[in-house]
Structure 1
Amino acid sequence: MNYPNVSSHTYYTIDQLVAAGRSMASAYQTVSFDLFDTLLIRRIHDPDLVKRPVARYISALASQGKRKISWQTVQKIRDETEKAQRLETGRTYEDQEACYPVFMEQTLRGIFGSDYTDDLLNKVTNYELHMESSMLIPRAPLMELVKELHLQGKRLFVISDVYLPAIHLKILLDRAGILPYFEDVISSADTFLAKASGRAFPLVQKKFQIDEKTWLHIGDNPISDGLRPVESGITSLVLKDSDEKFRKALIKRYHNYSKGRPFYRGRALQQLMLPLEAENIERQDLYREGFNFFGPMIGAFVHYLADECRRLGLTKVFFFSREGYTFKNVCDINTPLLYRDGDLPRTE
């Protein structure tokens, strides 16, 4: 077989990239994908925003044990612990990578002291993965390509530079419904060898016995997913999606405006609620009315109600009439997801 010259190609729409992937697929036996901002996109513009509810959760758990600590302090401790691990890793490896189970255990030990248990780490980890997965959406055109390549018998891998180890990434992929298509998942958190330095690609090549000439890599970073694979003899396709960049810039603007002008909280919420990728299908009029108006209205009220009950120490809420039944259902479904510490009133 004649193999194409090793090179990196950049595409500015996902449809262009997928078309290129299809046309080149016959020349390759192995295809690897970056995960975040490639296979999966986040509803939020800043992935670090996922950390805030986790910090609030840890703060609430600490308060149950009579340890008063604000979520802002929790976040600061986490950031400092992660930074320290990255600096320590950088003394041995080119990539200053971090590993979530390690720095989160250190964070929790620092906060809870002798009350720390492995069960506590599991609770926090599960909550963070829940929050992360709730923000992730598979990119529909790329998933069609993945399914086609899988049916053709290609070897498919996910390679990610992230502090979550592969076992956690597999949970996210499984919840997104796409894990079965991949032979394995590789994370820099497990080896501290990342795509950013190029060290990840020889590692994967050796472990899975891949011929570089038959390997195609797809991602969104021009260095980690473009230059570094080429340096290892791997052809790469890089996605610089202008539409996705605009979407994230818009929600970032609304988010920043909302800090000083409450009106933009609603606009930010509307932007975050937009159906993305395969979610964006034709709906009935009543569904759209509920999605655009009644859902946000009831959801915001129930959120406020739960906050007030927690603040005032109320232990039971009664919902009256037919309308009250709707509010009760929303409360019973949503509030356990928002307040995972379980400090909620009973409903009737």
Structure 2
Amino acid sequence: MLDIAEAKRLIDSAEIVSFDVFDTLIRRKVDSPLAIFHLMKAEVHDLTEGAISDFRSIRVQSEKNALEKARQNGVEEVTFDDIYRAIQELTGIDDSIISKLQELEIETELKCVDIRFVGYDLFQYAKMLKKKIVLASDMYLPRNAILSLLERAGVGGFSVFYLSNELMKTKREGDLFVHILMDLQIEPSQIVHIGDNPKGDIASPRALSIAAFHLPRSMVSFRQSSEFAKTLDLAGRKSWSLTKSVIDAMIADRFFDDCGKSDMDSFFASDPFQFGYTALGPMMLGFSFWLYREAKADGVSRLYFLSRDGEIMKRVFDELFPFEDFGIETDYLYCSRRMTRVPMMKNRFDLLQPIAKAIHARTLGNWLESNYGIEADKIDKELFERHGFVGADESINNKVDREALTALVLEIENILLDIASDERGSLLRYLSQKGLGTGKHAVVDIGYAGTMQDSLSSLLGQKLKGYYLAVFGTAAGVKDQLDLKGFVSQYGADDNPSLGICTHRFVYESLICNSEDTVLRVAVHGDGFVPVGKSHGVDEQRKYFVDYAHSGAVALAKEYKNSSPIRPEVSILSSEVSTLTFDTYLRYPMAKDVELLYGIAFEDLYGVVKERYLAAEPGIRKHLEPSQIIWKESLKVKQPVSKPTAKGAESTAKSALAKKNFSGAAESFLQAFELLPSRPNYLRAAAEAYFAAGNRKMALEKLSEYQRLNPKNTRVKARKWVMRFPVLAKIIGGQEFSLQ
């Protein structure tokens, strides 16, 4: 666990502060240094006219060859020129091209460099204390290139820069630190070193009695932050890509750079925004990259994102591919199964179709309203009774008397067709105002069978394309199957156990759907149209969650567009990688992460009457039927045993103080110190609590222990005298330390 307070304490006590450079003060916008060589691949291929097709492999091998050659001469470091001479030996490329390749590598490093804030904050802290700051780096790049990288990141104000490839001494061997001590003419106790490498930055200086503080790379912290993260890392290794490298680095730097925030019981830190950024975000980015390529190749001029699942898709797409730069217009279209189903009813045959389908448990009135748009309270109760029904509130299911139901529908046939005609007219005017079907247009939605696309095409008499997160084999009934394309699935089985959208479809729908109410139809309002919706009574928890989660996904898209070294139009994230975090979460959730979805209800206009939830906390779960919990994996997770924390012990101590239980407070302060030994103030508080309890011996013992850790605190000596001889308080004051 990263303890910044400990780092600052080390800086406080040192005269000179030494910082590593790469992954400490500055970072790369990719998950590893090797990704830099991947980024160069295409340009290297062009510069060498195809002589180097796999630059990463040649670059890595050449550095190894150069280091082996150096070791034969008793040297443990290589220069940038040494590496490129080794490349020349392997490929026979002439000097002019080698120089261009060196320039390209430095340009690529500059394009990928950024500040590492956690390291930079410590750097600024040392500057504020007017400490002498030196830099020490094991690096092959020349001095001028590294200085340019530091300048680009905004790092300046150091005294000396010790560079391994100039001195031919390294941190990992320890001789660079020996050189620093001799050059500065200091003792090991006068300097502290801060860096990320366990050997070169930590083990080596400590072997020389130099204090060192470990600042692990954010990617290392990310991959080791929890069991879930380790599972995710193993699964992701098989599908590495440059785009994945950039996105992983963004996630690591944003949420895992301060390792003190990590929680082995949670990956998402109970934060819907973090969930949206790390799980939903990659899915939406991968889908948008694919959508842009497909729409561009198909010559589509405008994309209509269908409500409500399409809103987050549109927001992410617009961030990555604004119309003014990429030439594809986007619009948000209110549309739902209910909104197209009723207008499509033009005759008796159409009216009878819902009766032939499966009927889930619900009230009769709800079924009529959902399928025909008629409000149940506008139907005379006598009409229900004539056909053997008690009334609109009667519960029905798949065993309902379909003959009686048919007779009921036929008796109000004209009313139902009039409703359908009215809604059809409003819908067509709305679509006309939106311009749908007046050009090469396509609709975008979550999936799965293209029924709304088919309905819109039929209503308009125009051919529309459709792009979906998933298209299943159930789409075989649409008029033109070639007009449907799916990202995760293209006409695959809808029960494919390897796809999360198949195994956890309702969770996908609930978390991708925005916070608007279900749209039933559109109504004329002034010169335009407004959606007429239906509120879902227990949907507030879901709305709260998705608002924050969708903001997280959009934030990832914005950051990718603004800072990624890979342009969005050439970014590729496969469907497997895009959904990896989301699907891994659904299959192997951690206890605290399950809590994110507690109380989120699943809304289904055509579903069952009893409320269903994605997940529910144990106390509520016992009042529900098993069928009311959708996310079955959430039921298998054991609740974590709460671990003691320093903050918790401190809180207990303060409660004891409020009750004047000073001995209990002292014990709790000592427990807090054991849990967080970098906070010696807990010892000081324990001493004061013991003194208040009348235990002078323990008070002096703990204050002496505090004094050994903080020898520069002159007030401690005076306080100890007062504790021994309380009468001195009348002369020099109590000198007591606050218990707060």
TM-score (norm 1): 0.66
Instruction: Name the counterpart of 1:187.
Output: 163
1:22 is matched with which residue? 8
**Equivalences for 1:130-279 in 2 at 5 Å?**
130=110, 132-133=112-113, 136-140=114-118, 142-177=119-154, 179-239=155-215, 243-246=221-224, 252-258=233-239, 271-274=248-251, 276-277=253-254
Shift of 1:86: 0.3
1:326 is matched with which residue? 322
Q: Residue 107 of structure 1 corresponds to which residue in structure 2?
A: 87
Residues 321 and 239 of structure 1: CA distance in aligned 2, closer, same or farther (over 3 Å)? closer
Q: Is the 8 A contact 2:65 2:86 kept in 1?
A: no
**1:201 Cα deviation from its structure 2 partner:** 0.9
Q: CA-to-partner distance for each residue in 1:291-323, whole Å, 9 max, x for gaps? A: 7677655545667899x9xxxxxxxxx996799
Q: In 2, Cα distance between the equivalents of 1:128 and 1:219?
A: 23
| Partner residue in 1 for 2:51 | 69
Q: Which residue of 2 is the match for residue 342 of structure 1? A: none
Q: 1:208 to 1:71 in 2, by over 3 A?
A: farther
Q: For 2:221, give the aligned amino acid.
A: D
For residues 47 and 294 of structure 2, the distance between their equivalents in structure 1, rounded to whole angstroms, comes to: 21
Residues 177-222 of structure 1, C-alpha deviations (whole Å, 9 max, x = no match):
2x21322332322222101111101222333444433111122334
Say which SS state the counterpart of residue 116 (structure 1) adopts.
helix
Q: How far is the alpha carbon of 1:327 from its aligned partner?
A: 5.1
- d(CA) in 1 for partners of 2:129 and 2:147? 23
User: 2:10, 2:211 within 8 Å by CA — same for their partners in 1?
Assistant: no
Q: Any idea what SS the aligned residue of 1:159 has?
A: strand
Counterpart CA distance in 2 for 1:192 and 1:61 is 31
Structure 2 Cα separation of the partners of residues 101 and 250 of structure 1:
40
Structure 1 residues 123 and 41, CA, compared in 2 at 3 Å: closer, same or farther? closer
Supply the distance in 1 between the matched residues of 2:281 and 2:189 (Cα, whole angstroms).
49
Say whether 1:51 aligns with 2:29.
no
The DSSP-based 3-state class of the residue aligned with 2:106 is helix
- Report the secondary structure of 1:31's partner residue: strand
Say if 1:192 and 1:302 are closer, same or farther in 2 by CA, change over 3 A: farther
Residue 24 and residue 120 in structure 1: after superposition, are their counterparts in 2 closer, same or farther (change >3 A)? Answer: closer
Question: How far off its partner does 1:60 sit?
Answer: 2.0
In terms of fraction of residues, the more helix-rich structure is 1
Counterparts of 1:265 and 1:189, CA distance in 2: 29
Q: What is the deviation of 1:229?
A: 1.6
Query: How many aligned positions are there?
Result: 298
- Aligned equivalents of 1:265 and 1:105: distance in 2? 27
Structure 1 position 123 matched with structure 2 position 103: yes
Give, in angstroms, the shift of residue 252 of structure 1.
4.1
Q: Secondary structure at the match of 2:136?
A: strand
The sequence identity of aligned pairs, in percent, is 18
Q: How big is each residue's C-alpha offset from its partner over 1:90-110, in whole Å with a ceiling of 9 and x where there is no partner?
A: 123352x22223312542576
Work out the CA distance in 2 between the residues paired with 1:131 and 1:117: 21
Distance in 2, Cα, partners of 1:44 & 1:249: 19
Deviations 1:64-122 (A, max 9, x none): xxxx33522x4343333222210121123352x22223312542576463472575145
Q: What is the rounded CA distance, in whole Å, between the counterparts of 1:253 and 1:205 in structure 2?
A: 42
1:147-201 CA distances to partner (integer Å, 9 max, x unpaired)?
Answer: 1210211111221223223332222222222x21322332322222101111101
CA distance in 2, matches of 1:305, 1:77: 37
**Alignment counterpart, residue 69 of structure 2, candidates 88, 112, 115:** 88
Structure 1 residues 158 and 327, CA gap change in structure 2 (3 angstroms): farther
Any conservation in 2 of the 1:45–1:249 contact (CA below 8 Å)? no
1:31 aligns with 2:17: yes
Mark the runs of 5 or more structure 1 residues left unpaired by the alignment. Answer: 1-12, 309-317, 340-348
Structure 1's 108 and 152: CA in aligned 2 closer, same or farther, altered over 3 A? same
Distance change (3 Å), C-alpha of 1:116 and 1:293: same
Specify the alignment match of 1:6 in structure 2. none
Matched position secondary structure for 1:71 = coil
SS in 2 for 1:58: helix
Taking structure 2 as the reference length, the TM-score comes to 0.34
